[in-house]
Each structure stands twice: as structure tokens, then as C-alpha cells.
Amino acid sequence: MRNFNEHTITDAVLARVGGAGDPRVREISEALVRHLHAFVREVRPTQKEWEYGIDFLTRTGQMCDDKRQEFILLSDTLGVSMLVDAINHPVPEGATETTVLGPFFVQAAPEKQVGDDISGGMKGDPLLVTGSVSADDGRPLAGAVIDVWHSDEDGYYDVQQLDKIGDLSMRARFHADADGRFHFWSIKPAAYPIPHDGPVGDMLEAQGRHPWRPAHVHFMISAPGFEQLVTHVFVAGDKYLDSDVVFGVKDSLIREFLQRSPGRAPDGRTAEQPYFYLHYDFGLKHDARRGMAA
């Protein structure tokens, strides 16, 4: 095999990757080659544009460290993350819709007790969050594991300012009570631009796009026998709900963050100052793989 030209090289590469032992590797490799070559054949990059592409991808990889994942940002801003999410999470009646994980999830979040304040002393409007976790058939899921994380009032996550604040905050792991319920105090999150001082920011600027996400609280919820739920709850009225830079907003995930006066709060605590209040009932989807094995 030699003497390839624009019209013969794709079949040559397909023949080569067709030797993959694992059928899934073969399937993905062949599709990658077909779509990648079709893209190149359509846009007909100059040598300089190809070099720019190589450099862009290199800088994207080199921007990544333990606190920054630029390739996830690229996937998010090109709508790929939400597409993969949609493919993997058809949502049955009674189950909560999903959205992107985002780049700020931390595997080892601090374990907290239901009712705790997780703001870590960050300043901002107090926020009470109450919620429940049920199966898609309505049965409460006692002991469900709830990871929660959100930004501060300026739109920054703890991991973006560890140098300044010293420790993880506005982030916790809870276990739902016997009725599948949980609640906690924190501060109200803000809309924020995704980190845009790297290659993804350059891309957004060239595409004439803003880098903002509407304010939201992240939830990741797990219970044995159910698919892990990765989602947000968005703040109703946010001006970026219709132009989320990562295409993550769904109407079913928007809630009013209600303003409440000082006094007795829904969790029985007495609030000394005005606060915001969010309630959300989450529904988890039975794990189809387990269902089939049963």
C-alpha cells in the first residue's frame, strides 16, 4: 500500500485500523477515521491551519492539571458532553433529567451530616437547600449518596481559589435519611464564565460567543441498583438560561430560589437574616443492566 492521494488514503487507513483485535476498538477507530477525514476533506485546511490545529490541541492538553480540565471544557462548549449525556441517559417518567458533570467535580468531597452548613464561611446570601431522593416509581431511597457542589457569590468554585481559601468548601457528600430526605445550608451561587484564559476561551472569542453559565447547584446522586444521576438545579430568572455556553439547561431543572425573611426556616432552624430557599425532589432511574441480570 503506497502512492495514496486525497481520494485513496481514507480506505488505506481504514484497512489498517480494521486489524484491531477488539471489535469495539475497530468500530470506534473506523468511525473516527471516516469522520475525521470527511471533516478535513470538507474544510481543506492549509498547511498553516493544520499547524494551528495541532498547536491548539497541544495547548489544550498542556492547560490541564489537577485543577483544570481544558479538554472537558472543549467537549462541553462544542456540545459534545451534552450529546454523550443525552445518548446515555434517556429519562423515563419519574426520573430527573441529567446534564453535564463539568470540570469542577472532586472525587473526595468532605463528608457532611444532613443539616450542616457547607459554606465554609464564604460570604454570600445564605441558602437553605432541601430535597428528596426517590426511585422512578416513587419509593424513597434511604441512604442515597448525594454529592453537591456550587460556586461562590462571585462565580468561583473552591478548587479555583484553594490558594486563597485554603480548603474545599461549598462542596459536600451527604447520605439521605430513612425517608430519602436531606437538607443543608450554604450560600447562593452565581452565574459565572467558564475558565476562558486558555485555548477554549480563544475559540469562544473567535466564534463570537460569551463564556457564561447560568447560576446552578451541581448534584451527583447514587443508590445501589440505580443509575448514578449527574445534574444541576438552575436558578430561575438567570439571564444566561437561554445561552448557557455548555448547552446544559433543561426546563425541568430550573427552580425558583425563593427569598425568605428571617425567622423559623423549613428545617426548623431559626434564620437570623434573610435567606434563599431551594427545594428539589430527585428521581433515580433503575439500572437497566441490573434489571436484565435479575
Residues 181-220 close enough to bind a second copy by CB under 8 A: 203, 206-209
Binding region for a second copy (CB under 8 A) out of 47-55, 122-130, 151-159, 167-175:
47-55
Minimum CB–partner distance for residue 156 and a second copy (Å): 23
Q: Rounded to whole angstroms, how far apart are CA atoms 114 and 195?
A: 32
| Torsion, CA 99, CA 105, CA 107, CA 108, rounded to 10 | -130
CB 94 within 8 A of CB 283: yes
Q: Rounded to whole angstroms, how far apart are CA atoms 148 and 231?
A: 10
Grid cell digits, residue 64: 490541564
Q: What residues have CB less than 8 Å from 181, skipping those under 6 apart? A: 114, 130, 131, 132, 133, 140
Site string for a second copy, 266-285 (x = CB under 8 A): --------------------
Q: Which residues pair with 68 in a beta bridge?
A: 65
Number of residues that bind a second copy (CB under 8 A): 75
Q: Which of residues 60-89 bind a second copy (CB under 8 A)?
A: 60-62, 64, 69, 71-72, 75, 78-88
Scanning the structure block, which residue is given the C-alpha cell 444532613?
A: 114
Binding region for a second copy (CB under 8 A) out of 57-65, 130-138, 169-177, 186-194:
57-65
Q: Which residues pair with 182 in a beta bridge?
A: 131
Q: Which of residues 96-115 bind a second copy (CB under 8 A)?
A: none
Residue 43 interacts with a second copy (CB under 8 A): yes or no: yes
Q: Which of residues 125-144 bind a second copy (CB under 8 A)?
A: none
| Of residues 18 and 266, the one with the C-beta less far from a second copy | 18
Binding region for a second copy (CB under 8 A) out of 9-17, 109-117, 147-155, 277-285:
9-17
Neighbour-count burial of 173, counting CB atoms closer than 10 A to its CB (0-12 exposed, 13-18 middle, 19+ buried) = middle
Q: Which of residues 23-42 bind a second copy (CB under 8 A)?
A: 25-29, 31-33, 35-42
| Of residues 80 and 165, the one with the C-beta less far from a second copy | 80
Minimum CB–partner distance for residue 88 and a second copy (Å): 5
Identified binder of a second copy from the candidate list 45, 94, 262, 263, rule CB under 8 A: 45
Minimum CB–partner distance for residue 105 and a second copy (Å): 12
| Of residues 5 and 261, the one with the C-beta less far from a second copy | 5
Q: What residues have CB less than 8 Å from 138, skipping those under 6 apart? A: 94
Identified binder of a second copy from the candidate list 175, 181, 250, 260, rule CB under 8 A: 250
Identified binder of a second copy from the candidate list 152, 158, 238, 244, rule CB under 8 A: 244
Task: Please count the other Cβ atoms lying within 10 Å of the Cβ belonging to residue 290.
Answer: 12
Minimum CB–partner distance for residue 29 and a second copy (Å): 6
